Amino acid sequence: MNRDEFISKRQREWKRFQILLDRAEQERVKKLTGQEIAELSGLYRGLCYDLSLVQSRDWGTSMSRFLNGLVARGHNVLYRSQPGSLDAVIQFFVAEFPRMLRANYQYFLVALFFSVVPGTICGILVAYDTSLAGRILPGQVQAQMELSYSESIAGRNAGSEGMMAGFYVRNNVGIAFKCFALGAFAGIGTITVLTFNSIFLGTVTGYLIGRGHQSNFFEFVVGHGSFELTAIVISGTAGLMLGNAIVHPGQKKRWDALRERGLDSVKIALGAGVMLIIAALIEGFWSPSGAIGGISDEAWRSIKMYVGGLLWVFVGLYLALGGRTKVTPVSHNNAEVAA
């Protein structure tokens, strides 16, 4: 197919995209019907492909500039709401954040692998032979674990919940920031942080199971673990996206690729940060809480385990289904777009 045939075949779709784009820019996307939003998204995907084709075949800067302008406008409409508005913030966390994460699921799966597999292996080995924990955990840390979980954790932080929540925020966000920022080193830094964090957590878990303290331990971690552990994996996802933009910039300069894909990775990291704050609040106030209202300790432990299970289900459903009723944005990794 030559240049003229290409223009003749695609020109009608470009004009339709312009019409919908003009309306979306003037009236905002939410004023369009569901069918129009789906059509706009589909045309945007086609336009991204058209642009990459024109650039690869060198069919002239004028056509490339024209398509690039449409793609840039389409990106702004599909990815960005009115800045600073409460509606935009709500829309981001309710729909855009889980959608973007699903669009980049490959990175999520890689981050999940390095967050789960090393820790699982270490946990199993240490649970069978707790002496192996000494290769990872200093004796002082093991003693602290014994002291913390040999008895019920109920009310352990009584009177200091706010202080502990603040500590957890700083600690968790610090780990997540390393996962994200070190992705700039071709993703190797992210993988390293995820692996070491997984090994540490797996060793702690295996050690406490091997010492017979699993009931107290899981009573404490099950509540906040859904948000905290998932958020760390998501932070790793953002870091790997950042690293991929540097290693595989496509047809663009690395800085341009980093600027484009970096926007998505920053948004995903932001969502993970909010999840970590939620986890810290749960960890500071709910996880160490003791029985109330005459409820027995065993019944309270069952309640906390049940609530923790529900939180895991909630997080899973949120990430899997959030935003599916809206238009699904296009991942920059599936369609290269020049800024």
Tell me, rounded to whole angstroms, the distance of Cα 266 from its chain centroid: 10
DSSP-based three-state secondary structure for 114: helix
Q: Quick check: 242 and 43 in contact, CB under 8 A? A: no
Confidence (pLDDT) at 308: 94
pTM for this model (two decimals) = 0.69
Confidence (pLDDT) at 338: 34
Please list, in sequence order, all residues whose beta carbon lies within 8 angstroms of the beta carbon of residue 77, skipping any fewer than 6 positions away: 21, 24, 25, 29, 40
Confidence (pLDDT) at 336: 37
Distance between CA atoms of residues 154 and 170, nearest Å:
23
What is the CB-side half-sphere exposure of residue 211 using CA atoms within 13 A? 23
Instruction: Give the DSSP letter of residue 212.
Output: T
For residue 73, which phi and psi values (nearest 5 degrees)? -65, -40
Distances (CA, A) of 23 to 17, 18, 177, 288, 325: 10, 9, 39, 53, 21
Q: Which amino acid is at 227?
A: F
Q: Quick check: 338 and 49 in contact, CB under 8 A? A: no
Q: What share of the chain is helix, strand, coil (3-state, %, to 5)?
A: 80, 0, 20
Q: Is the C-alpha dihedral spanning 48, 29, 106, 118 positive or negative?
A: positive
Full pLDDT tens readout for the chain, 339 residues: 788 888 888 888 989 988 888 888 776 666 677 778 878 888 888 888 888 888 787 777 788 888 888 888 888 777 665 555 677 788 888 888 998 899 899 999 999 999 999 999 999 999 999 999 999 988 888 888 888 888 776 655 554 445 545 555 677 778 888 888 888 787 899 999 999 999 999 999 999 999 998 988 899 889 999 999 999 999 999 999 988 888 877 666 767 767 767 778 888 999 999 999 999 889 888 888 877 777 888 888 899 999 999 999 999 999 999 887 544 343 333 333 333
Confidence (pLDDT) at 337: 36
Confidence (pLDDT) at 168: 55
Q: Quick check: 55 and 335 in contact, CB under 8 A? A: no
Tally of residues, the chain = 339
Domain boundaries, the chain: 3-80, 98-321
